[in-house]
Amino acid sequence: MTGLSTQARSVGAGVAAVHAASVDRDARFPSEAFAALRGERLLGALVPVELGGGGASLFDVASACHALARHCASTGMIYAMHQIQVACLVNHAQASPWHRALLARIADEQLLLASATTEAETGGDIRNSVCAVRAEGERFTLAKNASVISYGDAADVILVTARRTPDSPSSDQVLVAVTKADCRLEKTTGWDTLGMRGTCSDGYRLEAAGELAQVLPLPFADMSAQTMLPVTHIVWSAVWLGIAADAVSRARAYVRAEAKRKPGTTPPSALRLAEATTKLQQMKASVLTAIRQYELACGSPELLTTLSFATAMGTLKVATSEMVLEVVDRAIRTCGLSGYRNDTPYSLGRHLRDAQSAALMIGNDRIMSHTANQLLVQRDGSGPFE
Amino acid sequence: MQRNLTPMDGGASNAGVVAFADPSDDALIEDIRAVLADCGGLAVEPARLAPEDDLYTAGLTSHGCVGLMLGLEERFDVEFPEKLLNRRTFESIAAIRDAVRGLLDGAAA
Ligand SMILES: Cc1cc2nc3c(=O)[nH]c(=O)nc-3n(C[C@H](O)[C@H](O)[C@H](O)COP(=O)(O)OP(=O)(O)OC[C@H]3O[C@@H](n4cnc5c(N)ncnc54)[C@H](O)[C@@H]3O)c2cc1C
C-alpha cells in the first residue's frame, strides 16, 4: 500500500469516523478531518513533486477517497472534489506561470479547491454556461448565479466555468481560477439535504475580479473531456465504493455476531451478506477497470477524447451510482432492524442517505441520454479488451 | 499525402497554396458547409466561416458533432473510423476537409 493510502486510512479511522455523526447531524464542514488531512499534507497529493506536492497517481488518490469515505462520505467526497480541480491544473495549466504558482501554493499552504460549474439556469448541464468572462485590459470580471458550490465557505480557491466572452455561444467555455481574495460570495440557498450533509453545498451569487492570466489556457471542452470527466467519475465512484464497503463491513460484523451466538450454524442472513459482497466486488471491478483505462489513455489527448473513452467513463458513473444503492440495500436486509435503527453499531441510515446523492450528481438520465446520442456514431475500439 | 496537410493560414505557406489551388478542395468545402448548415446546430451561418475558423467557438457541441458526422457520412458515403472520432477532427472546416479527403482517398486506394 502506498503512503497516501495508508495516511488516508489513518485519518479516516482516527478522525473522520469520530466526527462523522455530528458532521451529518449538524450538516457542518468536517473541519477536524480536513485539519488532519492538512497536517499530513494530503491536499497537495496530486501536485507534482517539483512543485512541492506528493506527485500521486490517480489510483492512489482514488484509494484515498475510498479510505476516507468508508468512515465519512462527506469527507471523502470533499477530498475527491478538491482533487478533481487540482487534476485540471496539473494536467492543463502547468505551462501558465500564474497556475504553476498556484499549484506550488496548494502544496505549500494546503489550499482547498472547490468547483462552480452548476448554474441556476443550466443545472447539471456543465458543458453550457450563461455567465461570461468580461475582459478589460489585463483584467476580468465575472458574475455567476452558482446554485451549488460544495464547501464554498471553507474553500480557498474556486474553479468557475463561464463563457469565454460575453459574445460567445453557451458551449464555448473557459475555466477560471478565482481565489477567495478575488471574489465576493453571497449565499442564496442553504444545504439541508437527505445526505452528503457535510459537503455544505450551498448556493451563492459569485462575483469575481482578477487578472486574465487566471483563465486556464485550454478551452474547457478539452479539459472536461481529457481530465474533468474521467477523473470526476473515477473519484466519485471511489467514494461511493467506500460507502458500499463500509456497509458490507457492518453487515459482516452483524452476521459474525449472530454466528457467535449460535455456534455451529451459519445464520440465514449470511446469504444476503454474500449477495452484498458479490455486488461490492462488481462495483470494485468497475472502478479499477476505469482507472486502468484512464492510465492506458493518459498523456494521449487523442485517446482521452475518443467517444469510446467518454462512454466508458460516463457509464462508470451511472453503473456505480446504482450499484452503491443495491449494496447498501442488501446490507440493510442482512442486518435487519439492527441496520435500520440509528443507534446500533450496524446502523446503515447514513450510508443509505449519502448513497442517494450518487444518481443525482449530474443526473444519471442526463448522462444516459448523452451516451445514447453518442452511441449513434460510436465504433468498436482498438485497444485491449475492446 | 502532401495534399492532406492543413494549410497554416490563407496561403502564406506553400502547402496552403497547393491545397487551395486544388479545385476539388473548394467543392469539398462547399459540401461541408452545406452539411454544417443542415446538421451542425451552429450559432453562426456556416457560409460566413473561413476554413480555418474554430467551429467550437462558433457553437459546435459534442451533440452537434454527432449530427454533423452522420451528415458527412451520408453525403460523402464514407465511414469515420474510431480514431477520427474526437474533437480535433471537427474543429474547423479545413480539418473536416482533410479527414474526408483522407477517407475518400483511402476508399479509392
Ligand atoms: C453532493 C453534491 C455536491 C455537489 N457539489 C457541486 C459543486 O461543488 N459544484 C457544482 O457546480 N455543482 C455541484 N453539485 C451539483 C451537481 O453537479 C449537479 O449540477 C446537480 O446535481 C444537478 O441538479 P438537478 O438535478 O437539480 O438539475 P438538472 O441537471 O437540471 O436535472 C434535473 C433532472 O432532469 C434530468 N435531466 C436533465 N437533462 C436531461 C436529459 N438531457 N435527458 C434526460 N434527463 C435529463 C436529470 O437526470 C434530473 O433528474 C453537487 C450535487 C450534489 C448532489
Mean pLDDT across chain A: 96
Closest CA to B2 of B30, B25, B29: B25
Query: Hey, do A4-112 and A220-375 end up sharing a CATH topology, with the first three levels equal?
Result: no
Atom of ligand 1 nearest to the CA of A195: 1
Report CA dihedral (B43, B46, B49, B55) to the nearest 10 degrees.
60
Which residues, including other chains, have CB under 8 Å from residue A187's CB and lie 6 or more apart?
A: A202, A203, A204
CATH topology of domain A114-214: Butyryl-CoA Dehydrogenase, subunit A; domain 2 (2.40.110)
Give the Cα separation of B105 and B82 in Å (integer): 18
3-state class (DSSP) for residue A242:
helix
Sheet holding A183-189, edge to edge: A134-136, A139-149, A202-211, A183-189
Please list, in sequence order, all residues whose beta carbon lies within 8 angstroms of the beta carbon of residue A294, skipping any fewer than 6 positions away. Answer: A58, A230, A231, A234, A313
Q: Which residue of B has its CA nearest to A304?
A: B86
Q: Is A148 in the pocket of ligand 1 (CB under 6 A)?
A: yes
Asked if residue B90 is part of any domain, the answer here is: yes
A136 CA distance to ligand 1 middle (Å): 33
- Stronger pLDDT, A33 or B39, i.e. the higher one: A33
Q: For the domain that residue B68 is a member of, what is the CATH number?
A: 1.10.1200.10
The pLDDT of residue B4 is: 40
A205: β partners: A145, A186
Examine the pLDDT at A1 and tell me if it is beyond 50. Answer: yes
Q: Where are the domains positioned within chain A?
A: 4-112, 114-214, 220-375
Please tell me which residue of chain B has the smallest CA distance to A306. Answer: B86
Pick the closest to residue B82 from A382, A186, A259, A283 (CA basis).
A382
Stretch A235-243: mean pLDDT, rounded? 98
Measured in Å, residue A366 CA sits from the centre of ligand 1 at: 8
Beta strand A134-136 pairing with A113-116: unpaired
B65: containing domain? 25-108
Cell numbers 457492518 correspond to A250
- Residue B69 at interface with chain A, using a CB cutoff of 8 Å: yes
B95 in contact with chain A, both atoms CB, cutoff 8 A? no
Which residue type does A330 have? R
Strand-pair partners of A115:
A159
DSSP state of B82: G
Answer whether B57 sits within 8 Å of A380, measured CB to CB.
Answer: no
The C-alpha atoms of residue A129 and residue A132 are separated, in whole angstroms, by: 8
Rounded CA separation A312/A233 (Å): 10
Q: What percent of chain A has pLDDT over 90?
A: 93
**Mutational test site, ligand 1, from A79, A366, A367, max ligand atoms within 8 Å of CB:** A366
Are A169 and B59 in contact (CB < 8 Å)? yes
Report pTM.
0.93
Name the residue with the closest Cα to ligand 1, atom 14.
A148
Q: Tell me whether residue B58 is in a domain.
A: yes
Cβ-defined contact of B61 to A377 (cutoff 8 Å): no
Compare CB distances from B85 to A170, A221, A377 and report the shortest one's residue.
A377
Classify the complex by whether its ipTM is higher than 0.90, answering yes or no. Answer: no
How many A/B residue pairs have CB atoms within 8 Å?
Answer: 61
B48 touches chain A (CB under 8 A): no
Of A52, A55, A88, A71, nearest in space to A8 by CA: A71
Q: How far is the CA of A128 from the centre of ligand 1 (A)?
A: 13
> Nearest-CA distance from B9 to chain A in Å?
21
Helix/strand/coil for B59: coil
The domain at A4-112 falls in which architecture? Orthogonal Bundle (1.10)
Band of residue B86 on the pLDDT scale cut at 50, 70, 90: confident
Q: Does A342 touch chain B (CB under 8 A)?
A: no
Using a 6 Å cutoff on CB, does residue A366 contact ligand 1?
A: yes
Residue that is written with C-alpha cell 488532519 in the block: A36
Q: Which CATH superfamily is domain A220-375 in?
A: Butyryl-CoA Dehydrogenase, subunit A, domain 3 (1.20.140.10)
- CA gap B86, B95 in Å, rounded: 12
Q: Which chain B residues have a beta carbon less than 8 Å from that of A172?
A: 56-57, 59
Domain count across chain B: 1
Task: State the closest ligand 1 atom to the C-alpha of A150, by its place in the atom list counted from 1.
Answer: 8
* A159 contacts A214 by C-beta, under 8 angstroms: no
The number of residues in chain A equals 386
pLDDT tens string A254-312: 999 999 999 999 999 999 999 999 999 999 999 999 999 999 999 898 889 888 899 99
Q: Strands A157-163 and A113-116, how do they pair?
A: parallel
B56 touching A, CB under 8 A? yes
Q: A88: closest CA among A235, A188, A200?
A: A235
In 3D, which of A24, A354, A27, A23 has the Cα closest to residue A190?
A: A27
Asked if the C-beta of A373 comes within 8 angstroms of chain B's C-beta atoms, the answer is: yes
Residue B54 lies in a domain: yes
The amino acid at residue A2 is T
- Reduce the DSSP state of residue B81 to 3 states and report it: coil
pLDDT (0 to 100) of residue B62:
87
Alpha carbon of A123 to ligand 1 centroid (Å): 5
Residues of A in contact with B56 (CB under 8 A): 171-172, 219, 221
Beta carbons within 8 Å of A75's beta carbon, 6+ residues apart: A12, A16, A20, A23, A30, A33, A34, A68, A69, A198
Q: How confident is the model at residue A383 (pLDDT cuts 50, 70, 90)?
A: confident
Share of chain A above pLDDT 70, in %: 100
